[in-house]
Structure 1
Amino acid sequence: MKRYFYRASDKRFWSIEDKETSYNTSYGVEYLGRERFGSKSFSSIETCQKNIEKEIQKKMDDNYEEITILEEFSGVSTMQDVWEIQKALKEQPLKYYLNISPPILIKALSRITSIEELTLRNVSQLPDEIQQLHNLKKLSINFNPNSKGQITNSLGNMEALQELNLENVFSIENFGNLENLKKLNIGFWNEGEGIIPQNIDRLKKLTYLRLFYAKQIPDTVYELKNLEELVFTYSEVKELPDTIENLSKLKKLELDFMYTNLMDQPLTLPHSFGNLGNLDELTIRWRKVENLPESFKSFAQLKN
């Protein structure tokens, strides 16, 4: 049997596991992210039990609190994970940050429908349970690059979501029904597929879009008529199509072609570019622009 203890004042954790004639301990400080281990053996089960109780009492006297872990979370391997679960289930915060996020933690968080902001780091795969966070407004996910993390149907019908940040994602199958999403930041892993799904045009309320290391960008991006800021960073934008004029609310357009295969190819702006009447900031890096359209003269308000 393993018992868990935590002291909130300095974020120290401690656990002890009964092995009949011996016990194992683990301890450390939460924010340092390091865990140390110890063990001790005895001549009999009775002697071991007495020493376990003595050690536990010392911790209780030193302001540690025992944490009760539900059976379905018994597979958690580190005390940091244990505390994350207990804290989530007990405090039910509106904002939550996980520096480590195995699926078991997300399953625990799925019980907390009040969460509005969630940051997950070092994620391998996103479990379907995240769809149960119906009130989530902001979600940031940083995938472990070695895991080839994918977005399939995991986002489902998270209709309350307004901001989605994805970093080191390998591939995206679809965006689900994110009808209220306003801000989307996609950072592909540089060795990932880098394909933006065709159904991105379903994100009708999107006002901000940043694509990092995108290799295939569908024309449906230019159907997002509420976009005010569009940023392509290290992305394979061969040409801007005439349909860019659909982005009539666009205020900022940024294209950075560093690390792409297009750096030596000139970029020609379409004639319809001049119809972007609200554009006041244009940045183009690492690619030469040739043959500016006559309509470009209408941009007297441009900052860059």
Structure 2
Amino acid sequence: PGSRIIITTRDKQLLREMQVLRKGADHDVKVYEVQKLNCNEALQLFHMNASQRFNLGADSAAFLRAVVDYAAGIPLALQIWGSLFRRCKSQQERDCLLNKLRKFPNQKLLNVYRVSYDALDENEREIFLNIACFHKEEAIDDARRQLDACGLFADSGIKTLIDMSLIQIKNKYGNRNFLWMHDVIQEMGWAIVHEQCPEEPGKRSRLWNLDDVCHVLGRNTGTEKVHSISVNLSKIKELNLRAPDFTKMYNLRFLKFYRRYHVKQCNVRLNLKSLPSSLRYLCWPAYPLKSLPPKFSSENLVEISMPNSQLQRLWNEGQNPRNLKRIDLRDCKQLVEVPDLSKSVNIETIDLPGCLQLVEVPSYFKVLHKLGSLNLSHCLNLKILSDMPHNMRFLNLDSTAVEELPTSIFSLEKLVELNLECCEGIKNLPNSSWKLNSLTSLYLCGTSIEGLPLSIDCLSSVASIQLKFCKRLVSLPTSIYKLKSLERLSLEGCSSFRNFPEILEPMKRLEDLSLSLTEIKELPYSIENLVGLKTLRLYECKSLESLPSSIYKLNLTIFALDGCCRLKRMPPSSAILWSSIRG
């Protein structure tokens, strides 16, 4: 009984406000999101408006799939397109019209979505156009970072665009969220930019079409109107930019060259004399020159990404990159020194893995107080490491030539992950008290350490300790049982390891223990205190002779004993039976 009021809107925020106002009232406001049409429903609606049934030949079937995919379940698009295709008399005419719609979208349809765009504020419009031109199907974290780098307010803008049904967040590959936008809405964004100057792309705010970019950079027709350029190098084999002149594009703040990882690298011929000092975001993988132009000023740069480049030095001395937050020069194999970042007081992330010529980390790194992540993995000649700033959270020294770590590293209270894998020069870890209160992951695989210091028991938050193939490792400290947060411990391939320590107190969180390819002869009876253990790997333990009867008290689901040639029999099981164990 009673009445219902149905309100339709593109703005979810309006409905949220109504929910707040009606909270506690007799009738709540309920929000229902209209679902898009599925494939069969979309076909039915299209046929209804086209007033014809298409034959089931291969050409018609492919055409119908293309229309349905392009419409992505939006009824309005199917209705308008159906009426347009009604005039087509042959499959050739239909294919021609579909290609035309992709290049020149129907104005009636664009006008419907233009209402939502016109309701946005300036920040939201800029973000919408950037997503339409540059960031569709990009990981949301990457897009948000790039938008922020350009001086926009990404979080609030993206939220509004979602509420206005102009973009969506979709999960791709099961682990990352990506920005998604319907093709028709994206084309509306393209049309808005194109309208800024239909005849001359150098007078538009954004350039993303390859022909337009080559036209502007090849003929040097860029103007102060251009503030963003993005080029997908995956689509071409060679890009010839003899002498691009950026001097007239003095408002350019976003410059991005990119390619898909599975696509062969594009050959770029370049003679670059200048880059505008207005740049905030610079992405240029496989940059072909030895340095940035000598007159380039880095003062406004927020992020620079130039992996796999021919750089020897990034820039000349005297730079003031005070706004720089992130730098990525991974796999720049000719880079002979870390760029001068002494004035980068806002730097948060430095990625230099695979820079084979680097031999030391500058001492000023310790005063970069906002630096939270430093990746130097596979810098094979890096030997000298300075003190690290106190806000460091991630430190990766995998496969470096470092032999001794500054003791200050073990006082980094915010450090979450320390990776020393394959640092064969590291033979000892300090015995002084460790203050790594936030450390969750410790990677020591392939180092030359003989044991862990007693101070390891201070790692109250550590969840994973990896010691694989530490071939000189002889023992673990008896205090290992004090690591109450430990979930994974691996000593696989530690060929000198013979005695597993007594576990004097229950360890409830340790679920995965690997002792494979070690020289242990037996396990202590106190192994029963690993009450949370689910996986125990002992394969190829050729010296293992016996197991304690307490092994049956463990609630294992995986128990690997393959290749334990000296183990002749299992201990008596008393009355305890194991179930659901996989070997």
TM-score normalized with structure 2 length: 0.37
Shift of 1:168: 2.5
Q: Tell me the residue number matched to 1:211.
A: 420
Q: Tell me the residue number matched to 1:283.
A: 490
**Post-superposition CA distance 1:49-103 (Å, at most 9, x none):** xxxxxxxxxxxxxxxxx96469xxxxxxx984499669x8589453321123746
CA contact (8 A) 1:213 1:235 kept: yes
Shift of 1:238: 1.1
Q: Tell me the residue number matched to 1:233.
A: 445
Shift of 1:213: 2.0
Residues 1-304 of structure 1 correspond to what in structure 2 (within 5 A)? Answer: 6=217, 8=229, 10=231, 12-15=239-242, 32=265, 34-36=267-269, 68=274, 80-81=288-289, 89=297, 92=300, 94-99=302-307, 100=309, 102=311, 104-107=313-316, 110-121=319-330, 122=332, 123-127=335-339, 129-145=340-356, 147-169=357-379, 170-189=381-400, 192-214=401-423, 215-216=425-426, 217-219=428-430, 223-226=434-437, 227-257=439-469, 261-262=471-472, 267-287=474-494, 289-295=497-503, 298-304=506-512
In the superposition, relative to structure 1, how do residues 249 and 101 fare at CA in structure 2: closer, same or farther (>3 Å)? farther
SS of 2:397 mapped into structure 1:
strand
In the superposition, relative to structure 1, how do residues 251 and 81 fare at CA in structure 2: closer, same or farther (>3 Å)? same
Larger Rg: 2
SS of 1:168 mapped into structure 2:
coil
CA contact (8 A) 1:93 1:115 kept: yes
CA contact (8 A) 1:98 1:120 kept: yes
- Which segment is superposed worse, 172-181 or 7-16? 7-16
- The whole-number CA distance in structure 2 between the counterparts of 1:218 and 1:210 is 13
TM-score normalized with structure 1 length: 0.66
- The whole-number CA distance in structure 2 between the counterparts of 1:281 and 1:142 is 26
- The whole-number CA distance in structure 2 between the counterparts of 1:157 and 1:141 is 19
In the superposition, relative to structure 1, how do residues 83 and 193 fare at CA in structure 2: closer, same or farther (>3 Å)? closer
CA contact (8 A) 2:344 2:368 kept: yes
In the superposition, relative to structure 1, how do residues 104 and 292 fare at CA in structure 2: closer, same or farther (>3 Å)? closer
Shift of 1:171: 3.4
- The whole-number CA distance in structure 2 between the counterparts of 1:142 and 1:110 is 23
- The whole-number CA distance in structure 1 between the counterparts of 2:361 and 2:444 is 20
SS of 1:118 mapped into structure 2:
strand
Shift of 1:256: 1.5
Shift of 1:225: 2.7
- The whole-number CA distance in structure 2 between the counterparts of 1:85 and 1:108 is 12
SS of 2:455 mapped into structure 1:
helix
- The whole-number CA distance in structure 1 between the counterparts of 2:411 and 2:445 is 22
Q: Tell me the residue number matched to 1:42.
A: none
In the superposition, relative to structure 1, how do residues 177 and 153 fare at CA in structure 2: closer, same or farther (>3 Å)? same
In the superposition, relative to structure 1, how do residues 250 and 16 fare at CA in structure 2: closer, same or farther (>3 Å)? closer
In the superposition, relative to structure 1, how do residues 149 and 290 fare at CA in structure 2: closer, same or farther (>3 Å)? same
- The whole-number CA distance in structure 1 between the counterparts of 2:441 and 2:491 is 14
- The whole-number CA distance in structure 1 between the counterparts of 2:347 and 2:310 is 17
SS of 2:365 mapped into structure 1:
coil
- The whole-number CA distance in structure 2 between the counterparts of 1:97 and 1:221 is 38
- Which segment is superposed worse, 102-111 or 231-240? 102-111
CA contact (8 A) 1:13 1:79 kept: no
Shift of 1:295: 2.1
CA contact (8 A) 1:101 1:120 kept: no
1:165 counterpart letter in structure 2: N
- The whole-number CA distance in structure 2 between the counterparts of 1:37 and 1:225 is 48
Q: Which runs of 5+ in 2 are unaligned?
A: 1-215, 219-228, 234-238, 245-256, 260-264, 277-285, 513-583
- The whole-number CA distance in structure 2 between the counterparts of 1:124 and 1:107 is 13
In the superposition, relative to structure 1, how do residues 253 and 154 fare at CA in structure 2: closer, same or farther (>3 Å)? same
In the superposition, relative to structure 1, how do residues 107 and 167 fare at CA in structure 2: closer, same or farther (>3 Å)? farther
2:491 counterpart letter in structure 1: I
2:480 counterpart letter in structure 1: F
- Which segment is superposed worse, 114-123 or 197-206? 197-206
Q: How many residues align?
A: 245
Q: Once superposed, what is the RMSD of the aligned Cα atoms?
A: 3.8
Q: Greater relative contact order: 1 or 2 (C-alpha under 8 angstroms, separation 6 or more)?
A: 1
Question: Percent of counterpart pairs with the same letter?
Answer: 17
2:412 counterpart letter in structure 1: L
- The whole-number CA distance in structure 2 between the counterparts of 1:196 and 1:273 is 23
